[in-house]
Amino acid sequence: MLAVCRRTEKLVGSVDISGSKNAALPVLSACLLTDDKCVIRNMPDLEDVRIMFALLRKMGKTVKFENNRAEVTGQLRHGALPEKLVRKLRASVLVMGPVLARLKEGSFALPGGCALGERPIDIHLLGLKAMGAAYSILRGRMIFKRNVLKGAHIKFSFPSVGATENLLLAAAAASGRTVIENASVEPEIADLCLFLKAMGADITRTGSVYTVKGKARLGGADFAVMPDRIEAGTFILAAASVGGSARVDSANPSHLGALLSKLRAAGVKISQKENSVTVNSPKKIKPVNIVTGPYPAFPTDLQPLWAVCMMRASGRSQIRDKIFPARFMYVDELKRLGASMVLKNAVLRINTSRLSGTNIYACDLRAAAAMIIAGLMAEGETRVYELKHLFRGYENFFGKLRKLGANVSMERIREEK
Ligand code: EPZ
């Protein structure tokens, strides 16, 4: 599939944001901590979510999914994850915590890298080892045997989102008390903790320190996933980049503080209610620099979208990504549209750019969204290939954009002659 984008003067109207991919994935992994029924609502219909369903089914769970409602039942039978699924989904590493806490053994393929750069899991493994996990590596797989996980005092070298989720999942069902210091405090982790507490887990947080008292048994729960703050930020930046006035509903502005303050600094009018953000984009916007970092700093997942927005700014701005310093593979594709950008020493410098349509290729999930939005800003027609990346993390992206008046459609790629 490819996206066909044509110059769009402005975006108007409102759009409703789906449930959060990055909250749904750890919540689905938490369903492994019990054999009781779990009902998860506001579950986004995404490729990554369907891969997580497949992983749960491989481990013995029954997963029903309809109208954004998932129902997970059945017994966790084993923890041997097929490499093909693990390679497709980095977040599959999140099943390690629950599997080891409950089954005391498991085998997981070593994770691969991706467009964002190397994706190590050393922080996850150090935390699990501190809790008593031990593994050997055989033919690219980590083999854990007879691991009785016990509470431990863990201090992360970096506030890794995934490692925080993995250790919370392990600690919730391990015996004893676990303290995790220098942990991540992203809103998606707060959502995971709400779900775990609904299951009966004992978790408290002070600043970046979590304290977990493990429980021998956790029950099922009925839970609704939070709205996707990165999708909300994507549509807020789409309106700021293309121009116009749009309202993003089911968006929690308190999760988007860094983005909204940077947009206000750029001269974009932002008004907010408890569950919505309204964007009024002026004729000219000012260049504003960003540096990404752990929450509540500017989120790395929105830096490609910020780069596209700054192409409209009158002057030079720059981006540094302190989470994924190599997350600039999209720059060469935007240059094919005429972007005036220079990447040097992991700093991206952006100048006002006049864009004209051509064929470009997406390299990762957020870059795919950024390229489509750039295609709406470019003269003529832009065709964005490799859309598979987009379907991993955006539900009904084209329907939502068209509802705002975007001139965009999807086409099947005609078989090469
Ligand atoms: C989560 O990935 C998100 N994915 C990512 O969103 C997001 O970009 C990232 O957090 C940062 O916010 C999900 O939640 C499913 P990290 P994760 O562990 O958990 C290094 C998207 O577009 N690190 O916080 O993998 C790592 O290399 C995706 O939805 C280690 O060195 O992020 C990176 O530089 C993309 N050792 C930094 O920490 C480790 O053991 C952040 O990684 C783990 C991480």
Cis, peptide link before residue 282, omega less than 30° from 0: no
Cα(30)–Cα(24) distance, rounded to whole angstroms?
Answer: 10
CA 163 to centroid of ligand 1, rounded, Å = 9
**pLDDT band at 147; cut points 50, 70, 90:** confident
Q: Mind listing the pLDDT tens digit for each residue in 311-336?
A: 999 999 999 999 999 999 999 999 99
Question: What per-residue confidence (pLDDT) applies to 314?
Answer: 96
Q: Mind listing the pLDDT tens digit for each residue in 212-241?
A: 999 999 999 999 999 999 999 999 999 999
Closest residue CA from atom 17 of ligand 1: 162
Q: Is the pLDDT of residue 9 over 80?
A: yes
Cβ neighbourhood burial of 266 (10 Å; 0-12, 13-18, 19+): buried
CA 305 to centroid of ligand 1, rounded, Å = 18
Q: Output b/e per residue, 122-137; b: 16+ Cβ within 10 A.
A: ebbbbbbebbbbebee
Question: What per-residue confidence (pLDDT) applies to 228?
Answer: 98
The domains found in the chain, sorted by start residue, are 2-18+227-411 (3.65.10.10), 21-224 (3.65.10.10)
Cα(126)–Cα(131) distance, rounded to whole angstroms?
Answer: 9
Q: Mind listing the pLDDT tens digit for each residue in 156-199?
A: 999 999 999 999 999 999 999 999 999 999 999 999 999 999 99
Percent of the chain with pLDDT over 70: 99
Question: What per-residue confidence (pLDDT) applies to 368?
Answer: 97
Cα(327)–Cα(259) distance, rounded to whole angstroms?
Answer: 18
Cβ neighbourhood burial of 209 (10 Å; 0-12, 13-18, 19+): middle
* pTM, rounded to two decimals: 0.97
| Cβ–Cβ under 8 Å, residues 358 and 316 | no
> Residue 181: CB within 6 Å of ligand 1?
no
Closest residue CA from atom 30 of ligand 1: 120
> Residue 15: CB within 6 Å of ligand 1?
no
Number of other CB atoms surrounding residue 287 within 10 Å: 17
User: What does R_g of the chain's alpha carbons equal in angstroms?
Assistant: 22
Q: Is the pLDDT of residue 68 over 70?
A: yes
Nearest CA-CA partner of 48 in 301, 392, 280:
392
Taking every pair of C-alpha atoms in the chain, what is the biggest distance, in angstroms?
64
Question: What per-residue confidence (pLDDT) applies to 111?
Answer: 73
Question: What per-residue confidence (pLDDT) applies to 112?
Answer: 67
CA 383 to centroid of ligand 1, rounded, Å = 29
Question: What per-residue confidence (pLDDT) applies to 116?
Answer: 74
114 is an active site residue: yes
Q: Is the pLDDT of residue 88 over 90?
A: no
Tokens of 37: 């029924």
- The secondary element (H helix, E strand) that includes residue 257 is helix 257-265
The closest-lying atom of ligand 1 relative to the alpha carbon of residue 126 is 40
The dihedral region occupied by 51, where left means phi > 0, alpha psi between -120 and 50, and beta the remainder, is alpha
* Residue with the larger pLDDT of the pair 30 and 116: 30
Contacts (Cβ under 8 Å, ≥6 apart) of 164: 156, 180, 183, 184, 189, 210
Question: What per-residue confidence (pLDDT) applies to 413?
Answer: 83
| Cβ–Cβ under 8 Å, residues 126 and 334 | no
Write down the catalytic residue from 5, 31, 114, 193: 114
Q: Is the pLDDT of residue 113 over 70?
A: no
> Residue 151: CB within 6 Å of ligand 1?
no
Closest residue CA from atom 18 of ligand 1: 160
Question: What per-residue confidence (pLDDT) applies to 415?
Answer: 64
Pocket test for ligand 1, best of 92, 158, 208, 298 (most atoms within 8 A of CB): 158
Tokens of 325: 């310093």
Q: Is the pLDDT of residue 417 over 70?
A: no
Number of other CB atoms surrounding residue 338 within 10 Å: 16
Question: Reduced to 3 states, what is the DSSP secondary structure of residue 345?
Answer: coil
> Residue 119: CB within 6 Å of ligand 1?
yes
CA 238 to centroid of ligand 1, rounded, Å = 24
Tokens of 89: 């989904």
Q: Residue 255 half-sphere exposure, CB side, CA atoms within 13 Å?
A: 23
Q: Is the pLDDT of residue 376 over 60?
A: yes
154 forms beta bridges with: 180
Closest residue CA from atom 4 of ligand 1: 22
Question: What per-residue confidence (pLDDT) applies to 233?
Answer: 98
Q: What is the mean pLDDT of the chain?
A: 95
